[in-house]
């Protein structure tokens, strides 16, 4: 005996009404490159290429350190995370984008404040699939947050926004390999 097709047809019709999941969207603003500056850009005052001794002098002793001697990670009291390779800073994550001693944006800044201070930048809106049927059927997507990027030479600064506010700032050299790099102005 065949199962009735009405429940299956109803499910397919409902899924058609919901639509397909939305993928991440990218907007490239005219202000992807930060203005030239005498003072270096950094995260929580830490610039890429600094020695770990300079970072310890500025931030104090780390609260946590891990990794092999040639590639270490250290976390400091204000929450700043620093990755070093051969005692030279290669990645920093923290709460503020700085230029010299000036804080340009910090965790808690709104997207409007970021755009006013730095320009539009390179924006990736990130979506997460929504599912039904015990996770077996993708029914759409929901907005998770934004990743706004700015360049200074070969350094990329990532500002992660959620609920319209900056949550964290990260800097590292280069551009993600899976995405086309913006052209300098």
Query: Residue 78 pLDDT more than 80?
Result: yes
Query: Residue 43 pLDDT more than 50?
Result: yes
Query: Residue 151 pLDDT more than 60?
Result: yes
Query: Residue 9 pLDDT more than 60?
Result: no
Instruction: Give the per-residue pLDDT at 174.
Output: 81
Residues 88 and 100 occupy one common structural domain? no
Residues 111 and 180 occupy one common structural domain? yes
By mean pLDDT, which of 17-26, 44-53, 73-82, 85-94 is the weakest? 17-26
Residues 131 and 87 occupy one common structural domain? no
Dihedral sign from CA coordinates of 95, 96, 101, 102: negative
Query: Residue 169 pLDDT more than 90?
Result: yes
More confident residue, 145 or 17: 145
What is the arithmetic mean of pLDDT over 127-146? 81
CA distance 59 to 47: 12
Residues 53 and 113 occupy one common structural domain? no
Residues 160 and 87 occupy one common structural domain? no
Residues 157 and 115 occupy one common structural domain? yes
pLDDT-based confidence at residue 19 (cuts at 50, 70, 90): very low
Domain assignment of residue 59, given as a range: 45-92
Residues 104 and 182 occupy one common structural domain? yes
Summarised one tens digit per residue, pLDDT across range 20-34 is 445 566 667 667 888
Residue 64 lies in a domain: yes
**Domain-terminating residue out of 33, 64, 92:** 92
Residues 88 and 121 occupy one common structural domain? no
Sheet containing strand 71-75, edge to edge, reads 25-28, 122-132, 137-152, 155-162, 165-173, 88-94, 81-85, 71-75, 64-66
Query: Residue 12 pLDDT more than 90?
Result: no
Residues 153 and 117 occupy one common structural domain? yes
Instruction: Give the per-residue pLDDT at 15.
Output: 43
Total domains in the chain come to 2
Give the chain's mean pLDDT: 83
Query: Residue 181 pLDDT more than 70?
Result: no
More confident residue, 6 or 57: 57
Residue 13 lies in a domain: no
Residue 132 lies in a domain: yes
Residues 50 and 127 occupy one common structural domain? no
More confident residue, 178 or 162: 162
Residues 31 and 55 occupy one common structural domain? no
Instruction: Give the per-residue pLDDT at 184.
Output: 58
Collect contacts of 3-11 with beta carbons under 8 A, ≥24 apart: none
- Provide the whole-model pTM: 0.78
Residues 64 and 117 occupy one common structural domain? no
What is the arithmetic mean of pLDDT over 52-58? 95
């Amino acid at each position: 005996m065949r199962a009735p097709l009405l429940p299956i047809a109803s499910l397919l019709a409902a899924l058609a009404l919901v639509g397909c999941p939305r993928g991440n969207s990218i907007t490239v603003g005219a202000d992807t490159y930060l203005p030239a500056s005498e003072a270096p850009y950094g995260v929580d005052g830490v610039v890429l290429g600094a020695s770990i001794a300079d970072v310890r002098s500025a931030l104090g002793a780390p609260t946590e350190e891990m990794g092999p001697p040639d590639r270490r990670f250290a976390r400091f009291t204000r929450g700043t995370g620093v990755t070093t390779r051969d005692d030279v800073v290669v990645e920093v994550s923290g709460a503020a984008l700085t230029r010299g001693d000036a804080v340009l944006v910090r965790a808690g800044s709104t997207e409007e404040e970021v755009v006013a201070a730095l320009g539009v930048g390179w924006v990736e809106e990130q979506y997460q699939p929504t599912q039904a049927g015990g996770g077996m059927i993708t029914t759409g997507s929901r907005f998770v947050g934004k990743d706004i990027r700015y360049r200074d030479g070969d350094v990329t600064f990532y500002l992660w926004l959620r609920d319209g506010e900056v949550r964290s700032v990260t800097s590292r050299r280069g551009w993600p390999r899976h995405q086309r790099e913006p052209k300098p102005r």
